[in-house]
Structure 1
Amino acid sequence: MQLGLFDTLRSKPIRLPLAPHGSVLHAASDPDFTFRLPHPRMVWDRAAIEVHRHEDGMWMWSASLADSEGSSYRVGPKWGKFAETREDALFFAVEELEARIGKKAGSDAALILKWLNALKDNPEAFK
C-alpha cells in the first residue's frame, strides 16, 4: 500500500484475529454510518461501506463489493477490523475496496474507484 502525504497523520488500523464465531450487527440493526454506491438495475449496491462504533469506543468497518466475484460482509467485531476514529475507519474501508478492485478494467471498476476517491479524506462524509 502506497502512503500519501496525509496518511502519516492517521493512526494505524487495529487488526485483531478473525473470530469465526464472533458477532456482527444483526439484520435488524443499522450501523452508525452506511455509504452506498447503488446499482442502477439490481437490488444490491455496487459497493457499500459500513462504519459502526464498538462498545469499547473503537470504530469498526466493513467493505462490500458486488462485481463478477462479489464479496460482502456485515460490520462487526468478528472481523477484527478496528480504527481509533470513524474517519480512519472509513479511510481503511476505502483502502480495502481499492485493493480488492486492484487493476480491474471496465466501467464498473472505474465508477467504484471514482466513488471511493470522493469518500476518501472527505470531511463532509459524515454529515
Structure 2
Amino acid sequence: MTLQLDLFARQFTPAMREPVQPHGRVLQSAPDEMLSLAHPKMAWRWAEIELHQHVDGRWMWSTSFNTNGGGSGYRVGEKWGHFAASRDDALHYAIEEMREHLGRRHLQAEERKSVRLILEWLETLQ
C-alpha cells in the first residue's frame, strides 16, 4: 500500500494538555478572538470557538456547539489545561475537538442539518 503525503500540509506543534484544575480560572472578560456560526433565524449560535492568549504567551481555546437536540461547551480559561504554542495551533486543536464531539453524537433527524452546517463551517476555518 502506498502512502501519499501532502508536501504543503501545515505542521502543528503538539497541544500542551495539562490536568483540569477543578477550581481553576476561566476568562471573565471577552476573549481575544471569538469565531461563531450564527443560527439563521434564532438569536443563539450553532457553534463557537474562543481563542485567548494566556499571560505566559501560550494560546488557549474553547469550543461550544448547540444542535437542535443537544450541545456542549465551556468558557476559555487555564482551568481546562488546553494550551497551544500559537493562535493557529489553538484554532487547529479547537476544530479537531469540535469535530470529535460532533462525531460521537447519535444524531436525531432534527440535528442532522445543524451538524452538517457546523462541519461545513469548520472547513472554512482551516
TM-score bucket of the superposed structures, by smaller chain: 0.7 to 0.9
> Percent identity, aligned pairs only?
46
Q: Deviations over 1:55-80 (max 9, x none)?
A: 01000000101122211211000000
**Is 1:114 aligned to 2:116, yes or no?**
no
CA–CA separation in structure 2 for the residues paired with 1:69 and 1:17: 26
Q: What is the TM-score normalised by the length of structure 1?
A: 0.84
1:37 is paired with a residue whose SS is strand
Aligned to 2:58: 58
Could you tell me which runs of 5 or more consecutive residues in structure 2 were left unpaired when the two chains were aligned: none
Equivalent pairs counted in the alignment come to 114
Q: Which runs of 4+ in 1 moved over 4 A?
A: none
* 1:116 positional shift: 0.1
2:49 is paired with a residue whose SS is strand
CA–CA separation in structure 2 for the residues paired with 1:79 and 1:57: 16
Aligned to 1:22: 24
Greater displacement, 15-24 / 42-51: 42-51
Aligned to 2:37: 37
Look at both structures and tell me which one has the larger radius of gyration over its CA atoms. 2
Q: Deviations over 1:12-60 (max 9, x none)?
A: 111000001000011xx11000000001233221000000000010000
* 1:106 positional shift: 1.4
Q: Alpha carbon RMSD of aligned pairs, Å? A: 1.6
Could you tell me which runs of 5 or more consecutive residues in structure 1 were left unpaired when the two chains were aligned: 121-127
Aligned to 2:72: 71
**Is 1:88 aligned to 2:89, yes or no?**
yes
CA–CA separation in structure 1 for the residues paired with 2:38 and 2:73: 14
